[in-house]
Structure 1
């Protein structure tokens, strides 16, 4: 087995920055009781002005008069960890939140599908970069080893043969002894005895270590080496998606919602990839400053999960929406997921690519104009040509290609065309119908060559003279 550990050292700050309209402005998280609040974390813009973790809030505000702050929220950090776990579920079915500030997931069973480790590592980093989370990443034979190695390494890939040497080089204060399964006094005792590296403990007889420090230290060392199985609770994502973006100040125009909407749709896309699913319909709800919420239903013609496509279609829907009042929060809710089938790729892409382009254009037109403004032409079970193609009403034909050929273009009304028909190429085809509704017809249709070489669909009434043009073949 091979386990990936992702450590997020700035998760609280970066999670809060994702909710900011301007993430580049000076910002810090604060913690502590109101009289003694101090800086917990600060972004780059604040640090460039001298703001540092541990400073008193008043001193930090004196250094940076434009500093914006928000209280540290431990529950928000856990929510972000669960969302990242739902994202990681797209790479592995064994995702655990066992360690604080980190994710571990087993990846060996997915390497055949997702590619060799260097390519998968690049994909993990790229997607986390799009989400806006800094991270450290290590892959090791067991989750305990991956977790302690990520304290001092980023990008390390170690297998069974190199695990002992990689662990042996760790300092005791970085080897997880104090923060995971052993007490801090064990580390103090070891360091006072002259031990500095984990490898020095590996070289000692196990019986002597067990007598001096008990089973907890031995169990932790066994977990690091993969000799002691580690029981993990695996994360299982929910079958629906709901995210909310709250604004610091009211937003009065749809254009001001573009940034949070893009963020939420990126999260939706990664959630769908993790579930191997897509959406056909979801809701965008605006929490208004005064008045009830305003909800917009986003309906799609096919199952989608690409973030750019979802953003384009959502924007097109919102162009037809007028806000009832100032918006204080934005919620994206997908109550039901749909099975997703990737677009089939052909060896020689020709008509398939054209069909994809038409499907994308159809989606954009419906999103921009509304479903009622764009209706397909559907062939129905009706022999009279002028009534056989309607805008979606009535019983559909079983198979349009099963009967005789039909022209691609019908003229609005049959036109007399004596003298324009040069040669009859096929026919006749007798069409006699409509006696029950007063629109009775009795015609013999022919494929004819027109005077200029085009192919026309013409008819005449049995036993009578005179030709009528009814359509053109492409």
Structure 2
């Protein structure tokens, strides 16, 4: 069977990915847009759309210089990991044309369509369908087919027509490095056909074996394999029952067997389940699904099994369940713990509690406070979902901070001296013991309307009425406020 290779090249893959996902109106679609990345101490253009290129911008150009040429330039930091995931998604989509699809660098795909072109009405019809679908998806792609991988790559990157003669293409189409390409052109060897008449030994001595290797790959004298994209591992197990069951205890027993098998699969790949889905198929062909979201990646069947109990009890078995299927729909890396003589602190109980509560009210609704690197009270902490963050600490502060912090509330007091008597929230207080002042200056490099008034002098006071308050005074705009309360 004749071998045919299709090369797909996406010259603007990063910018096309971002622009097709942005919810912009039609008026802004043609505005210059670039993706940037930090290189050699400055931000440079990583990828750009045609409108930016029409303004004279190019890849590798400094962003500050680009804005001087194009004041209305829109920019966004590049996300190389997201680009890789998007290219892999395109590879999976390309399997509609053939099963043998591999990646070609960071912006291309290679397809071996031998034996599958007739399913689409021939090779030309297949290539037209590829181009049509890419345009409809908002992607700029070059598609070409040839007998070899090197020839297909050359046509997509340097060919003007799908069936152009390979010999008429520049020597850069051989996938040579820039130094070798420049050296060949200085000798007048500008086209691939110019290399055919020269002795192979002379070319190899002058430029090394790479030039002849690439030439042989283009012409088919040297095989060049396409490494297919590996399928993502599937973490799912199934159990078919000889007789239908309906009792929760029987379903739990079946779930235990499934969990043991699934956890073995996860352990083989050093992965842990973050989200599990148990599907219970009934004899009437209906199905009940029990979903379990875990507060941390796990692969311990004994720990996970009790967490399924509530969902299984609430499931409707109908006339009986004859098949059970358990799948880890979301997994994360979970390396084996290193053996140590010192007992490690166990957090299993807290994670299991977060899991139980999270499956009732939502994992995102259970949050924890984490310390932040700022001396400003409002910025000294951040709130994050407990299931997707680890405790950080310890909390470090030169002076104690109140457990309760609320927006500053004015009190009925005047003068720079600490008030001995004041009113707050319609209550009268008398100052007993006090500690202070502690002056806190604003972070001038960050905009914050609440701190634009200047410095604050904080006092920790204990009132005779039993309340322990955190007061501050603003010298530049004389006033007293209560900012928090100690337990």
Q: TM-score, normalised by structure 1?
A: 0.44
Relative contact order, higher structure (CA 8 A, sep 6+): 1
Q: TM-score, normalised by structure 2?
A: 0.43
